[in-house]
Amino acid sequence: MNRHLEHIRAIVQVQQTYAKTPLLTEECDLAQLVDDTLRIQYTSLQRHGITLTREFARLPRMWHDKHKVMQILVNLVANAKYAMDAMPEQQRHLLVRLTMDDGWARIQVTDSGVGLAPEILGKLFTHGFTTRKDGHGFGLHSSALAAKMLGGRLTLESEGTGKGTTATLEIPLMPEPRKPPPETRRKEPHVGPPSPEKDP
């Protein structure tokens, strides 16, 4: 339970500062991470009468910023949940898939909700765009930025109004910690006697 509380605290913190926080990478099991996120939202999904299906492929451990991945997923699942509010209860299905392809991990959140009308497709990632009464229109904007910081991308597709939506987050498999670019790498402080060749 502590792990979940810690995640919730971290998500709230990250949501407050959006994607501006620097990357904090650690070794992670992506399936576990997606599972933890869904567990946090499960009660709410149940309350909305949504059935949840998970399809997780086996993925190697990788280095990523867990909280950024969670921040993105929380918003995708919340968006899916609201998109299904308009559907009759027996038609509210959420599918979360985790797959791997050519060096990329792919997380897909597919809902059976209202879908995306062609005229809103170009506005989805615009800061402040929302069609929800209580929405802010920050979720997809900040999630797309966070996906970019992770070296990946976020896309949404739908066959149209009433046809549901699939959100896809793709991030590189990243088997090792990411090295900062050379110009930002910190110089190690010099310890020991001054090296003669560097002295004037």
Ligand X SMILES: Nc1ncnc2c1ncn2[C@@H]1O[C@H](COP(=O)(O)OP(=O)(O)OP(=O)(O)O)[C@@H](O)[C@H]1O
Question: 51 by DSSP, 3-state: which?
Answer: strand
Residues 40-99 that bind Mg ion (CB under 5 A): 75, 79
Q: How far is the CB of 78 from Mg ion (least distance, A)?
A: 5
Alpha helices in 24-156, H assignment, sequence order: 30-47, 66-83, 139-149
Closer of 79 and 168 to ligand X (Cβ):
79
CA 53 to chain centre: 18
Residues 69, 33: contact at Cβ < 8 Å? yes
Quick one: what does residue 112 bind among Mg ion, ligand X, none, with the CB cut-off 5 to 8 Å set by partner type? Answer: none
Q: How many residues bind ligand X (CB under 6 A)?
A: 21
Rule CB under 6 A: choose which of 130, 149, 151, 173 binds ligand X: 130
Closer of 116 and 145 to ligand X (Cβ):
116
Question: What are the φ/ψ torsions at residue 6 (nearest 5 degrees)?
Answer: -65, -40
Residue 131 binds ligand X (CB under 6 A)? yes
Residue 165, beta-bridge partner list = 111
Q: Are strands 26-28 and 62-64 parallel, antiparallel or unpaired?
A: antiparallel
Q: How far is the CB of 144 from Mg ion (least distance, A)?
A: 12
Residue 40 binds ligand X (CB under 6 A)? no
